Every structure is written in structure tokens, then in C-alpha cells.
Amino acid sequence: MVVNSDDKVQKIVSLCKRRGIIFQNSEIYGGVQGFYDYGPIGSLMKKNWKDLWIKDNVQLRSDMVLIDGTIITHPKVWEASGHVTNFTDTMVECKKCHKRFRLDLLDDNSQCPECGGPLTEGRKYNILFETEIGVIEGEKLPAYLRGEACQTIYLDFKNIVDSTRVKIPFGIAQIGKAFRNEVTPKNFLYRTREFEQWDIQYFVHPKEMDKWYEYWKENRMTWYQKYFNQPDNLRFRQHEKDELVFYAQKAFDIEYQAPWGWAEMEGIHWRSDYDLTQHSKFSGQDLSYIDQSTNERYIPWIVESSGGIDRSFFFLLLDAYQEEKTKSGDTRTLLKLNPHLAAYKLAIFPLAANKPELVNLAQKIYTDLSSKYSVDFDDSNNIGKKYRRQDEIGTPWCAVVDYQSLEDNTVSIRDRDTMAQIRVKITEIDSWLSKQLN
Ligand code: ATP
């Protein structure tokens, strides 16, 4: 059943709350716009999403290393990067209803999109969050929460070259929080004020920039396509000439077809030698690289891929959300998530909660499997409700311990998507599951 796209975001927001995936932060105080917490299920899913990225981009590659940098850095970093002067949004306010909007996100800049009222002149706001380092008045150092995670990679470039055996071309990957005082946080996880990014900065010889740019552009799209059920909802958008920063020859976004239109998920950026040159200038340190085989010294050029983890996670939920009419006329809601992303790979239930022999056997299977897989156990009474809950959080398989299990040591395993059931020997659940996942 196709879910009306206007309702879909609302349906996902309420599913996320109902099933412990995502909560509005500080909800008991009325919440703050643009801040969300991941609940017991959501935090496992998000961890899986990040683990997949690390596995595919670091673990399986000999040309990539991983770092985990701080959120607060030396304040000069943000002067060098241009964020102190340029990280601004232009905001307008409706003179009638007093709602505020980001000017560049309005289709029609002449009137309020909500009530049609006239708008004020645009005013520029820097969206870096400010803080201070130190506690003594007069000695505090003004600082910022990082507006993008990738800057730390440039700061650590020299240390990494000096401390590891990396040779160009190589990449530094990082997952980390970024903070932006967005004027109009909106669309659930799409535009928030605190979010996580995954960044790859791939360092290349200037002559090889174009080749590596094309390589990462294709690589990142193919990677996302693996995990979305509907890859047609992903596309590239090439930046127009007037959108390009002066040092970029080209730029592409990977976009997702969200219910409100095509929306950016990740940017593939041509950064040339801009970042390392800026940090060389502002820090006074030489950030050039020496090719040991030719003795050539140069500032490496960079291909960047920078994606929003919460954004892509939200898009995965939109992609996976389905409603189906069952034979009995009910609606079955399910998250058709890739099993690698699901919080639990398998849920184990005893058929009846008041039969200790069934409960104990189910409990034992759960304990045995949990050292290897993230699994769930549910001995509440109603089997229909148990399936419903697991369908809604995307658990790909449910195993039921029933009376037959006591006789022939098998369980019934139900598939989330087809609802087909098969019998698997208890001693073979581990290898069966491992086969499904690989
Ligand atoms: P936008 O134009 O949507 O504001 P951007 O072009 O400023 O995004 P980048 O600076 O390139 O974004 O950041 C890289 C990625 O970080 C984006 O592709 C997006 O997925 C994510 N991102 C950026 N801003 C936010 C935000 N406010 N909330 C959630 N994710 C964000």
C-alpha cells in the first residue's frame, strides 16, 4: 500500500516515539526545536548504520584511516576555515505573523509562505554555536562548537602522515557531531541544530584530482544504493557554476526524494588545496607532503565526501516504511530495513508466556545467540502483538518456541517481509542466521 507522502513524515515521527527509535529531546520540558535523542531501538540502528560506513570505508580498505576528533578546537580553526565570517544564514521575518524563515529556502522571497504577509529585509546571522574555554573572568577564551566535523581531519593531517605509514593517495575518515544554530530547524531529523556527520577527506596529487573525484562520486552513490530499497529515489544534483566556491571545479550532492522534494543527503566536494593551505597560513606550520619516491613536495588536493548521518538515517526510515493490508483487513506497518541495519536480527518468543518449559527454552536460545548477535526476547502474552512490534522496528526474523519445539528441537522462524514460516533446528539457528546476513 502506498503511504500518502504528506502523512509519511508524521507517521514516522509517531512510530519513532511509540517504538523507542527517536524522541524529541527534553520533551518533558516542552522540547527544544532541532534536538533529538535516539532511544533504545534507534541508537542500535544508528550504531549499525555507522558501523557499516566504517566497515566499508575503513576496515575493508588499506588506503583509509579513522580518527575521532574533538568538538571544541582552537578558535583560530574557524577563522582559517572562513566560518567566522561566512557561516551565515540570511533570515527574514513575516511582519504579520512574525514567523521567521531562511531566505534561501523560500520559493517566493516576496511574501510569507504561511500567511502571505510582507517580509522584513534579510538579516545575516552566524550559525556557529559560541562557547568559552576556561572559567576565570577576563581569561576565558571564546570558542565554537564545530560547525562541521571535517576540520579536525585537516588539523590532524600532519600528525597522521608522521605517525602512520599512509602514502598519497589515502583518506582520513571521521564520524562526529556538528552543531549549527539553524534559523529554521525542520522536517524531523533533516535539519537539526546538533547532528552527526561522516566525512572522508581523500588526499591526492593535484594531477589526479579529477580521477579521484569521479571515483568517490560513484563510490558513495553505489554505497547508498546498497542500503535503500528504492535506489531510484537517490540521484545526483550537480551544483550550478554560481553555486561553486572559488576553489571548486565541480560539486555534486547525492539527493533523496523526500516527501517534500529532492533533498541533499551528502556532498561530494572538490576542495583542491584550499583547506591545508588555509591552515598552513593561519597556523604558520608547513602542511605540505613529500613524496618519498620522487622527493616532490606539494600541498595535497582533497576530495571530500560529507554526509549527514541523521539525515540519511531518516531517509532510510522513509524508504523502509510500509503499510500493508492483511487478510483480516487490518493494517500491518513494517520497516523493511536491510537486516544489517535492524536493531535486532532475530526476536525469540515462547508461544505461551505461562508455560515454563517454553519460556525457559526460548530464554536459553536468546542467551546463547546474544553473545554473537543483537537479539530480542519477548515473553509477553499476545503473539500477534509481539510480531507487530518487531515488524514496526524492522526485525527481519522472529523465532517462536512452540510445543513442537519440545518434541523435535526446532523453532518456527517467520520472515518479516513475506511472513512465510520455516522450521529450523535450534542447534542450526546460528548458522542459518549467519547465512542470511552474509
Ligand atoms: P544544507 O544546504 O541542507 O544546509 P549544507 O550544504 O550546508 O546543507 P554541508 O555543510 O555540506 O551541508 O554538510 C554535509 C552534510 O551534513 C549535508 O549533506 C547534510 O546531510 C548534513 N547536514 C548539514 N546541515 C544539517 C542539519 N542542520 N541537520 C542535519 N544534517 C545536516
Query: Which domains does the chain possess?
Result: 5-74+133-318 (3.30.930.10), 344-437 (3.40.50.800)
**Ligand 1 binding pocket includes 196 (Cβ within 6 Å):** no
Shortest-distance Cα residue to atom 21 of ligand 1: 308
**Ligand 1 binding pocket includes 265 (Cβ within 6 Å):** yes
Instruction: Please give the pLDDT value at position 6.
Output: 61
Q: Residue 125 — very low, low, confident or very high, per pLDDT cuts 50/70/90? A: confident
Instruction: Please give the pLDDT value at position 126.
Output: 86
What is the rounded distance in angstroms from the CA atom of residue 411 to the CA atom of residue 363?
A: 13
Residue 407 CB neighbours (<10 A): 8
**Ligand 1 binding pocket includes 198 (Cβ within 6 Å):** no
Residue 26 CA to ligand 1 center (angstroms) comes to: 23
Instruction: Please give the pLDDT value at position 106.
Output: 87
Instruction: Please give the pLDDT value at position 5.
Output: 63
Residue 40 CA to ligand 1 center (angstroms) comes to: 25
219-222-227-229 Cα dihedral, nearest 10 degrees: 160
**Ligand 1 binding pocket includes 307 (Cβ within 6 Å):** yes
Instruction: Report helix angle 309-320 to 40-54, nearest 10.
Output: 110
Residues forming a β-bridge with 101: 92
Query: What pTM was computed for the model?
Result: 0.93
DSSP string, 277-314: HHHHHHH-----EE-TTT--EEPPEEEEEEEEHHHHHH
**Ligand 1 binding pocket includes 304 (Cβ within 6 Å):** no
What is the rounded distance in angstroms from the CA atom of residue 403 to the CA atom of residue 425?
A: 14
Cell matching residue 337: 530495513
Sequence length of the chain is 438
Query: b vs e for 262-296, b when ≥16 Cβ sit within 10 Å of the residue's Cβ?
Result: ebebbbbbbbbbbbbebbbeeeeeebbbeeeeeee
Beta strands 261-272 and 251-258, pairing class:
antiparallel
| CA-only gyration radius of the chain, Å | 25
Shortest-distance Cα residue to atom 26 of ligand 1: 191
Cell matching residue 425: 533446528
Ligand 1 atom with minimal separation from the 193 CA? 27
Instruction: Please give the pLDDT value at position 386.
Output: 94
Q: Residue 184 — very low, low, confident or very high, per pLDDT cuts 50/70/90? A: confident
Shortest-distance Cα residue to atom 27 of ligand 1: 191
Q: Residue 1 — very low, low, confident or very high, per pLDDT cuts 50/70/90? A: low
What is the rounded distance in angstroms from the CA atom of residue 185 to the CA atom of residue 261?
A: 17
Ligand 1 atom with minimal separation from the 266 CA? 18
Cell matching residue 438: 552474509
Mention every residue, 6+ apart, whose C-beta is less than 8 A from residue 233. 256, 257, 319
Provide the percentage of residues in the chain whose pLDDT is more than 90.
83
Ligand 1 atom with minimal separation from the 253 CA? 18
Average pLDDT taken over every residue of the chain: 95
Instruction: Please give the pLDDT value at position 91.
Output: 86
Ligand 1 atom with minimal separation from the 306 CA? 14
Shortest-distance Cα residue to atom 22 of ligand 1: 308
Shortest-distance Cα residue to atom 3 of ligand 1: 264
Q: Residue 102 — very low, low, confident or very high, per pLDDT cuts 50/70/90? A: confident
Q: pLDDT by residue (tens digit) across 245-280? A: 999 999 999 999 999 999 999 999 999 999 999 999
